[in-house]
Amino acid sequence: MQRTIPTRDLIAGNLKLSAYPSGLLKCISGTIRTQVLLPARATVMLALAGPKGDAWRVLIGDNCGGLSLYSLPNLIEVKSWRPHEHPIRSLTAQKRHGGLALLSGDENGGVFIHGDHIPSESLELFNIGGPVGAIRCVGEHIHVNVGWQRHIMHWDGEEVTTTSINPQKKSHFTLAS
């Protein structure tokens, strides 16, 4: 029997989530073990804290551009969207006026906001022009990493600045003879 290796794992407190290439999602929390078949293969997972501070929901982005929100640990689907046309690569959450804003970034550079307070529940904020590697909200700005570049954007889509991160530190060594 061949053992299947998860493509994504998420650990939050005593909870462990594992997503498999087949679309299977498993949750282990203490003695509770649940599983569900996702609509597509998970590419990214984000645990969301509840009122008590523990993980009570998980947001999952998939390789078909969809988002699914599940309750934890029982894995009951709360909501699903399909706003992207490309695989989702990054997720973040930010408390905003009117509730929790969920942001997603895709392989093609699209950055979307999702939530009950958003018209039609999803809205494209901007397109950064390259695969989104990471998204982070800092005050009134959204930091988006594309490769070694960081774009700092306003919530209205206006770019504040772009910086390049040099991956190579230059070190000089002198060899003793």
Is the model's pLDDT at 171 over the cut of 90?
no
User: What tokens were used for 169?
Assistant: 């530190």
Contact in structure between 84 and 125 (CB atoms under 8 Å):
no
Which residues have a Cβ under 8 Å from the Cβ of 53 and sit 6 or more positions away? none
The dihedrals phi and psi of 119, each to the nearest 5 degrees, come to -55, 135
Q: Which CATH number applies to 84-168? A: 2.40.128.630
Ranges for all domains in the chain classified under CATH 2.40.128.630: 84-168
The DSSP line for 60-93 is: EEETTS-EEEEETTT--EEEEE---SS-EEEEEE
Alpha-carbon distance of 153 to 140, in angstroms, equals 9
Mean per-residue pLDDT, 13-36: 94
Contact in structure between 135 and 128 (CB atoms under 8 Å):
no
pLDDT number for residue 140: 86
Is 2.40.10.480 the CATH number for 7-82? yes
State whether residue 146 is helix, strand or coil.
strand
pLDDT number for residue 101: 86
The pTM score is 0.86
The DSSP line for 117-159 is: TSGGGEEEEEE-SS---EEEEETTEEEEEETTEEEEEETTS-E
Ranges for all domains in the chain classified under CATH 2.40.10.480: 7-82
State whether residue 119 is helix, strand or coil.
helix
Block residue for tokens 């018209």: 119
Nearest to 92 by CA among 52, 126, 57, 47: 47
pLDDT number for residue 99: 78
65-95: pLDDT as tens digits: 999 999 999 999 999 989 899 999 999 998 8
The dihedrals phi and psi of 120, each to the nearest 5 degrees, come to 60, 15
